[in-house]
Amino acid sequence: MSTRRPLSTGRLSYQRFPFRTAENAAFLRPFVKWAGGKRQLLRQFQSLYPEKDSVSRYLEPFLGSGAVFFHVKGLLQPTRALLTDTNAELIDTFLAVRDEVDNLIELLRQHTKQHCESYYYEVRTQSPSTPVARAARVIYLNKTGFNGLYRVNSRGLFNVPYGHRAKPTILSEALLRAASVALRNAELHARDFRDLFAVARKGDFIYLDPPYQPISKTAKFTSYTSGSFGENDQRDLAALYAKLDRRGCLLMLSNSDTPLVRELYADFCIHQVSARRMINSDGEKRGPVSEVVVLNYRPKAHRAPTSQPG
């Protein structure tokens, strides 16, 4: 569905508890924490999704924690999904949750029994030989590392320090089993977003959540993978968005609210949302920030503005 002029510009308020809604009392939450995760924005996203009956296949090329996938799965109930990310460890973790949840739970139970600071650093240096053991390592480090970060150095080695939490919840058995069921009809691959055009079809609902365009020279977060996502990647993504629009896909994209992002998506409908970002090392700089959601379709509903971000 092609649009050459913005349909409208909306402003939606930050909501503190996005998992409680009229349609569903408790949406499945992600089983890992991820920098830039969208869990807090789901209530704002809800009114921006396409109509439920219009979506049969859901695609997400920047999977992260999967918060939007789980939300869309509960609300729109697509029969199929294609989930990808450049982070191969993350994709392997989702595959283990989908295909080997019993073995994964048992390994996490063992991690829980042995957990302490010295054990954390021991596990951090390991390279398990089986996919399910690697997945258990990712989840364990995510639950017990500093601030739930996933960060690697230039050699691709995980380097997040110990989190010093008194009683971290390493194993959430019911959550993992529910996630395994939700992922049952999902296809998962480690791929670059540029591969999306080869598999996308008319009518697909595609959510794109790239590493955000930095709002300042010091705002850049590194490193989700050992590579980077710079301005050229942002421009490549915008070009892909336009090509997918011409193909007839339903597109939803999140990014920071910057002049470059608004320029790249000026032909589409840009909505402003408010989020709290907690990753800044300076606590005084943490708080509400403006982000944008770009659509190429008219959303199912528009809520009236309830507040103006400061």
Together in a domain, 113 and 248: no
Q: What is the mean pLDDT of residues 34-62?
A: 92
Same domain, 97 and 82: no
User: Following DSSP, what letter does each residue of 158-214 receive, concatenated?
Assistant: B-PPB---SS-----HHHHHHHHHHTTTEEEEE--GGGHHHH--TT-EEEE-PSPPP
pLDDT tens per residue, range 217-245: 555 544 444 457 899 999 999 999 999 99
Judge if 135 and 215 occupy the same domain: no
Nearest to 172 by CA among 97, 99, 228, 277: 97
The number of domains in the chain is 2
What CATH number does residue 97 fall under? 1.10.1020.10
Last residue of a domain, one of 108, 143, 174: 174
* Mean pLDDT across 29-50: 90
Q: How many angstroms separate the CA atoms of 253 and 208, rounded?
A: 5
Task: Name the residue with higher pLDDT: 230 or 281.
Answer: 230
Tokens of 103: 């073995």
Pair of tokens at residue 291: 């982000």
| pTM of the entire predicted model | 0.84
pLDDT for 135: 97
| Within a domain: 198 | yes
Q: What is the pLDDT of residues 134-178, one digit of tens each?
A: 999 999 999 999 988 888 887 778 889 999 988 999 999 999 999
Q: Is residue 213 part of a domain?
A: yes
- Its domain, for residue 211, covers 39-86+191-295
